[in-house]
């Protein structure tokens, strides 16, 4: 949970205080009913209510203490130990009073330890839970040997009969465990929501370029692999901003970042819905189109080139920047006939051809073969 120790401890103490307050209410109304009085140990009842009242005050006093001392750094380190120790002691006392072997005690103990391990560091939980568990074992041994009374809040008349046949005892077990169950459920739901949110954020960070907000090279590579697995043809458009280094050198990297963001927006606006765009590295971008149609990919590249050429970035009232980009296009008509690396290399070679022939233009991989063929004839 992405909370400070103060918030976690305050939450645990608040829930503990409310739960013990519910115990007091239960016993107060139960003792007031004549038909239930025979099942309650009247001699122990005043002591029990007094202890629960002090425990409730203790919970809220600790919350006040946390709010008062939260600016002290050392206190933040020790408050989890104090919180778990106090919480555990009170609930073990409550478990002893209703029966250390009772379903509510056993299920509540397991639920609370599980929640504690999720909320706090394991070291904190173990260093406090182990002594509390030892105290619980002592209570069990003393109860079994008859040295202390088992479930002292209940009368002897109730304890000698089969407990599950006594409606009051059954209702007690339900009443004492249900608040713990729902509190644990709420805490786990909060934790799961935070974990899902964090997982989604990590996933976004792993596939999104933080500067431009479009896909990064890794995500584009995954999409290409997916298309090849689906035996789908595709085309790749690589583009590189012309003279981008000069922009960085002349105006600074902040302006260069703005240029990259503007270009990312232009590319996103000028591709089809089924196509994706990503940052390939530095001032290079990549567009992945489905279908493997070279003419379609060239048309998208030309549309993006014109949009970038028209873009004007205003630095102030008197200065502005115009940018252009060179494009290289390659298509994979047969996904099994060419590897991902080969088609990217073809697009890169076409991009190099565009740079070599004056920049601010779109060239495709078939022109490379034509150019090589013409050069070979000239040599002959």
What is the set of active-site residues?
Answer: 283
Report in angstroms the alpha-carbon separations of 256 from 47, 126, 282.
Answer: 75, 53, 10
Residue with tokens 């995500």: 219
- Whole-Å CA distances, 150 to 49, 109, 196, 205: 17, 18, 44, 57
- Cα 344 from Cα 269, distance rounded (Å): 23
Residue 371 makes CB contacts below 8 A (sequence gap 6+) with 353
Provide CB contacts within 8 A for 187, sequence distance 6+: 115, 118, 119
Q: What are phi and psi of 108, to 5 degrees?
A: -65, -40
Distance from C-alpha of 266 to C-alpha of 276, rounded to nearest angstrom: 13
- Strands (DSSP E) contained in the chain are 234-241, 276-281, 284-290, 312-314, 320-322, 325-332, 362-364
In a 3-state reduction of DSSP, which class is residue 126? helix
- What does the alpha-carbon distance between residue 253 and residue 323 come to, in Å, rounded to a whole number? 15
Judged on CB neighbours under 10 Å (0-12, 13-18, 19+), 315 is exposed
């Amino acid at each position: 949970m992405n909370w400070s120790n103060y918030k976690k401890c305050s939450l645990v103490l608040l829930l503990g205080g409310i739960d013990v307050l519910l115990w007091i209410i239960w016993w107060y109304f139960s003792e007031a009913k004549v038909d239930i009085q025979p099942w309650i140990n009247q001699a122990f009842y005043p002591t029990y209510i007094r202890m629960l009242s002090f425990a409730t005050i203790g919970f809220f006093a600790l919350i006040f203490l946390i709010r008062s001392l939260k600016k002290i750094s050392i206190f933040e380190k020790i408050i989890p130990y104090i919180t778990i120790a106090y919480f555990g002691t009170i609930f073990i006392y409550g478990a002893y009073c209703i029966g250390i072997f009772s379903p509510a005690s056993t299920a509540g103990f397991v639920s609370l330890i599980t929640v504690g391990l999720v909320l706090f560091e394991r070291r904190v939980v173990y260093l406090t839970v182990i002594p509390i568990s030892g105290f619980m074992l002592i209570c069990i041994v003393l109860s079994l040997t008859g040295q202390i009374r088992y479930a002292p809040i209940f009368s002897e008349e109730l304890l000698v009969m089969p407990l599950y046949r006594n409606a009051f005892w059954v209702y007690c077990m339900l009443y004492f465990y249900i608040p713990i169950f729902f509190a644990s459920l709420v805490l786990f739901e909060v934790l799961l929501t935070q974990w899902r949110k964090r997982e989604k954020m990590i996933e976004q960070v792993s596939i999104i370029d933080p500067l431009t907000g479009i896909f990064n090279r890794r995500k584009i590579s995954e999409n290409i692999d997916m298309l090849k697995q689906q035996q789908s043809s595709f085309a790749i458009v690589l583009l590189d901003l012309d003279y981008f280094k000069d922009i960085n050198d002349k105006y600074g990297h902040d302006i260069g970042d703005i240029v990259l963001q503007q270009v990312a927006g232009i590319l996103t606006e000028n591709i089809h819905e089924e196509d994706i765009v990503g940052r390939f590295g530095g001032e290079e971008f990549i567009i992945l189109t489905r279908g493997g149609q070279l003419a379609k990919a060239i048309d998208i590249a030309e549309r993006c080139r014109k949009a970038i050429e028209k873009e004007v970035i205003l630095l102030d009232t008197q200065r502005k920047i115009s940018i252009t980009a060179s494009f290289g296009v390659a298509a994979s008509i047969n996904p099994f006939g060419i590897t991902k690396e080969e088609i990217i290399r073809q697009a890169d070679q076409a991009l190099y051809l565009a740079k070599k022939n004056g920049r601010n233009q779109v060239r495709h991989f078939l022109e490379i073969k034509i150019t090589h063929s013409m050069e070979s004839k000239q040599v002959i």
